[in-house]
């Protein structure tokens, strides 16, 4: 967000260098951000795009059109369309509709991009002074979904 404020305040001269922007992170470190990422951030702040809060897999996700989210495994093949009917909130363009508990008639549609396993989690149990140790690993199944449509009631 620092970089966007600098873009609006100082203009493109002192902040932008070539095809990349340097954003000060602190302690002498700098992060490189591409110009396309900045344009998308500025565009998303200007336009109040429609968004929704959905519930799936026991978690809640705030999504907008063309967002790619990683959620708990769904029983759907790659390339198929899935519908999320548990929509808690729909908003955008200056107004928001909050459900009680769900928004009636609201549907969020997405396309399954991938079915995969998540990052490995190491489960290490130790009972001290008993020479007892157990090390297990676990990888959760995940589904990658691109949000294609948000339909309010």
Q: Which residue has the higher pLDDT, 36 or 153?
A: 153
At residue 47, the 3 state secondary structure works out as coil
Query: Which segment of 36-40, 103-107, 149-153 scores lowest on mean pLDDT?
Result: 36-40
How far is Cα 38 from Cα 12, in angstroms, rounded to an integer? 12
pLDDT range class, residue 94, cuts 50, 70, 90: confident
Please identify which residue in the block is written with the tokens 């490995």. 120
Report pLDDT digits (tens) over 13-56: 434 444 444 454 445 555 555 666 655 555 554 456 889 999 99
Residue 27, token pair as written in the block = 């302690």
Task: Give pLDDT, residue 4.
Answer: 45
118-127 residues labelled b (16+ CB within 10 A) or e (exposed) = eeeeeeeeee
Are the beta carbons of 49 and 64 closer than 8 angstroms? yes
**CA dist list (Å): 75 to 24, 109, 141:** 43, 15, 11
pLDDT range class, residue 93, cuts 50, 70, 90: confident
pTM: 0.65
136 forms beta bridges with 123
Residue 36 dihedral angles phi and psi, to the nearest 5°: -65, -40
Report pLDDT digits (tens) over 72-87: 999 999 999 999 999 9
Residue 22, token pair as written in the block = 């340097």
Residues 6+ apart with CB under 8 A from 40: none
Task: Give pLDDT, residue 33.
Answer: 59
Residues 6+ apart with CB under 8 A from 57: 71, 72, 73
Are the beta carbons of 53 and 60 closer than 8 angstroms? yes
Please identify which residue in the block is written with the tokens 């459900």. 99
How far is Cα 96 from Cα 151, in angstroms, rounded to an integer? 13
């Amino acid at each position: 967000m620092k970089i966007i404020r600098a873009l609006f305040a100082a203009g493109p001269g002192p902040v932008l260098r070539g095809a990349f922007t340097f954003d000060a992170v602190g302690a002498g470190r700098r992060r490189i951000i591409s110009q396309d990422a900045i344009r998308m951030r500025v565009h998303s702040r200007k336009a109040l795009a429609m968004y929704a809060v959905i519930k799936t897999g026991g978690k809640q996700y705030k999504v907008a059109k063309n967002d790619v989210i990683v959620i708990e495994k769904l029983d759907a093949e790659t390339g198929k369309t899935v519908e999320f009917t548990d929509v808690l909130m729909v908003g955008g363009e200056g107004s928001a509709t909050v459900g009680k508990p769900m928004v009636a008639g609201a549907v969020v549609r997405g396309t399954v991009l991938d079915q995969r396993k998540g990052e490995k989690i190491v489960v290490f149990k130790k009972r001290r002074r008993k020479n007892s140790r157990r090390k297990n690993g676990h990888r959760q199944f995940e589904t990658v979904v691109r949000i294609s449509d948000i339909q309010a009631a």
